[in-house]
Structure formats: structure tokens, C-alpha cells
Structure 1
Amino acid sequence: MSRAFVFAAFALFVSACGAKPPPAPTPEQALALRPADARLAALYETSCHACHAIPETGAPLVHDRAAWDPRWKQGEAVLLDHTIQGFNAMPATGQCATCTPGDFEALIRFMAGREDSAT
């Protein structure tokens, strides 16, 4: 292998390691964000929005990858359990009595900015 190739591969590797998550939404943007699916948007509006769109609540803001990434690393099963059982200030079921586990999974992915992720 040529040195130029090794150097280029190393430079690409190092630059990928420094990739940063997208910037957090502004408070105004967080207030305006909704899932694309109308049913999920309605569930989000009546349960999740009150805490996850307002910075003062202490809940991780919708689409704030810097806040969600450490939680995401715990795994979706843990996040789902925390949502259903409650965790710290998070009330059990996020006060969504009509949400199914699938709804919770979709809402968690939306809020974590991972709508396109299955894991």
C-alpha cells in the first residue's frame, strides 16, 4: 500500500471520529416540531410536548441529539422501560394512557431525532 493511501484512510477515519451531532433546536424550533404521522403528532401533542419542548422542564428536548445520545446508547429497550415504568421525573407512560408500546417506540425515536433508526 502506498503511504498516500494509508494517510488518506487515516485522515478519513479521524475526521469521522470527530463528527458532532446536529445542533440542538432553538426553544422556538422545539415548540414547533411534531412527528410527520398525524396520529403520533396528536399523541405527542397531548403527552410528550409539555415536557420535551420546553427547556425549563429539564427533560431532554425533542431532536436535541446531545441530550438524547447518552440515553440512546442505553438501548431502546431501556428507554421504552423508562417511558412505561417512569424514571426520575418522567411519569409512568408519559401520561399517555392510549399509547401502545409501538407508539412509545416511535415517539422516542422522534424525540431522539432517530426516526430513521430501527436500533
Structure 2
Amino acid sequence: MKNFFLYAARDSETFRWIEHFLSKIHPDGKLITLPPGSQFTSPLCLQLRSNDILILFAQDEEEINDLLALRDEYESFRILLIIKNEQQISDSKYPLLTPRFVFYLDSNMGDLPGYIKNLFNNNR
């Protein structure tokens, strides 16, 4: 079984909703939620391997900046980014996170399970 990981710079009700949503999709892997704000120092981070799927959530621009400060910690992973909505991306620094794909809470979250499954199947 392959693992995929979820991380956010801060804990929130929305982050917990995303965690619950991802725990129900059963793509060919196991969701491991890294403690929000742990800055990749949690023992769970030891399970991360190069090329693993890492889903990052940023609720606002400040959280994107927090994630950018940790970019060296996760640049070898396949990044998927979840943000609130498409309006949030104007003038944002989110491309510096180098996500493979960006998902929006208000529109395309339903596509996320299929995308994860394809990443597992293609194993790129």
C-alpha cells in the first residue's frame, strides 16, 4: 500500500474537513496526516519518501507564505495544493510551491480522488 500525505501550516476546521474527505476516498493508498504547523519535524514525517504525494492546504496568503518558508523540506515530493477558491490565486505566490495541480474548495475538490488514483497508477 502506498501512502499519501496531508499537511497545512495551521490547524483549522477546514483542514479537518479536508482530512475527513481524503480519508474516505480510499485511492490505492493510506492517508497520513502530518500535524499542522509541525514544520515537518513530526515522527510521521519519517515515512515520507521522495516522489510521494504530498497534499498541502493553504487557507490564505499568510499560510501560503508559511508553506513557502518550508519549501526545501518537501520539494522532492509530488505536490497537490488545495486553496479556498480561484479568486485566491490572483497575485498569489502559490506557483512557487510548484504544485502539480491546484484544487479549489469551492469548485473542483471532487476531482481530487481521481487525480490521486492516477498518480498512484502512473507512479511518476
The structure having more radius of gyration, on CA atoms, is 1
User: Into which bin does the TM-score normalised by the smaller protein fall?
Assistant: under 0.3
Higher strand share: 2
TM-score (norm 1): 0.26
TM-score (norm 2): 0.26
Higher helix share: 1
